[in-house]
Amino acid sequence: MTNTKENRVCMISLGCAKNLVDSEILIGGLKQENYEIVNTSDDANILIVNTCGFLDTAREESVDVILEAGELRKSNKVKKLIVMGCFSDRYGSELTEELPEVDAFFGTDDHAAVLSYLTGKAHAKDDPDYFRSLLTPNHYAYLKIAEGCDNGCSFCSIPIMRGLQKSQPVAWNVQEAKRLADSGVKELLVIAQDSTSYGWDLTPRSSLHELMDELDKVNGLEWIRLHYAHPAHLHREMIQRFGQLEKLVPYIDMPVQHGSDKMLKDMRRGLMSSGIRKRIDDLRKVKPDISLRTSIIVGFPGERDSDFKELYDFVEEIEFDRLGVFTYSEEEGTHGASLKDDVPPEVKTDRMDAIMLLQQELNLKKNQKLIGNMERILIDMQSEDGTSIGRSYRDAPEVDNFIRVDEKLNIGKFYDVEITDAFEYDLAAKRLVHA
């Protein structure tokens, strides 16, 4: 295929990191087929929107982007419009009727089908030519170790959209990690819907800690960061690895969702607040300075003032290092959707604001304690004012805090810095020059 505007593709990837990996794989396949990837729809002949269908805000964003893309298709500014991903997977039949300007709809993990549609050639999901083309900076990348989820949390529609858990074999994940490391990746961010359930569905059965043992051996990687750990499935062996593995940074993204036993039961989380506290205590015993990131939901059906107070007190007691708050929104097809959404929107917002204000105070207190500390950081970007933006082990890209250094440093390189000032969500630092 010759390289003309007829095969210029603009990819719009919405939603989470798992969606981003799907987009990267598809882009890799497109490049193998000599499609040119462009940054804007103005330069493209083909427009692909990889949608997110989780939460109202994500669905609204997906609809807005599809409608905007549809206008380009109707005016023939692009010749093909393809919609894929979670939102498309779930609402494809309705969207087909409402959006005739879209040429084709595909679901999640459908990169092979999209390639077949565009090229007219057969492509398999495990095609060896599927070499990802990263949409992240070259020095970090996501490793999606599994697809789907077996948990039946009341609020979550992910199993409906992405199906039950399908773990990638250990050897596949290690091969992918090696490939990424060989391409210059220094930080590997391990993701799945529930990473702590990894390997239960494999034959022979495996586990997250066994996978981590193998990833730790991959030459070239310096940081391995664990995301989306379900507290009910975080077992002793994995906790111990934070004190044993050289490259596994003391950071864990572990959504707890609530601090009230009643709400945790109604949410079908499989663990009460005492169990969550035990997991956190065990993590801090192994690594006292471990950075704990979590997410919580306020306004779930039946959440009383007393339940929210339990949550507030829980957050204040635990002192999470990083925290995100979501207001509950009904997800069609879930158990939660069968419950009366009886918490008024303004109450949900007030509760979210209260938690975020508390977390802001906790962040500032923790950051101030770091002034004068030496930290090893990874540089993500340079600013126009001559400063650089980096992260310590405490922070994942895109979602967490950052450290601003008062000089231009090389992107993708590690530096030792001294923390000089602290704010609610970021730190200031100067580079340490070793004799």
Three-class secondary structure of residue 218 per DSSP: coil
Which candidate, 190, 202, 186, 273, places its Cα nearest to that of 238? Answer: 190
pLDDT computed for residue 127 by the predictor = 57
pLDDT for 3 equals: 46
Cα gap 38→1, rounded to integer Å: 17
> Which architecture, in CATH terms, is 374-431?
Beta Barrel (2.40)
Phi, psi (deg, nearest 5) at residue 315: -60, -40
Q: Look at residues 59, 58, 49 and name the one whose alpha carbon lies nearest to residue 91.
A: 59
CA-based radius of gyration for the chain: 22
The answer to whether the pTM exceeds 0.85 is: yes
CA angle 322, 324, 330 (to 5 degrees): 160
Tens digits of residue pLDDT in 269-322? 999 999 999 999 999 999 999 999 999 999 999 999 999 999 999 999 999 999
The pLDDT tens digits for 157-210 are 888 888 899 999 999 999 999 999 999 999 999 999 999 999 999 999 999 999
The contacts of residue 303 (CB under 8 Å, 6+ apart) are 260, 263, 328, 343, 351
pLDDT above 60 for 4: no
- Kindly give the residue spans of alpha helices, DSSP state H, lying in 75-101: 86-98
149/233 Cα distance (integer angstroms): 13
pLDDT digits (tens, 9 = 90+) for 9-24: 999 998 888 889 989 9
Is pLDDT of 92 > 80?
Answer: no
61 pLDDT more than 90: no
Q: Quick one: pLDDT at residue 97?
A: 84
* Model confidence pLDDT, tens digit, residues 114-157: 999 998 888 876 654 567 899 999 999 999 999 999 998 999 88
* pLDDT of res. 257: 97
The pair of three-digit structure tokens given for residue 233, joined into one six-digit string? 């499935």
The CATH number that domain 5-119 falls under is 3.40.50.12160
Please say whether the beta carbons of 198 and 182 come within 8 A.
no
CA end-to-end span of the chain, whole Å?
56
| Fold topology of 140-368 | pyruvate-formate lyase- activating enzyme (3.80.30)
Task: Supply the pLDDT for residue 5.
Answer: 58
Q: Which of 57-66, 324-333, 394-403 has the lowest mean pLDDT?
A: 57-66
Task: Give the whole-number percent of the chain exceeding pLDDT 90.
Answer: 72
Residue 369 pLDDT > 60, yes or no? Answer: yes
Q: Where are the domains of the chain?
A: 5-119, 140-368, 374-431
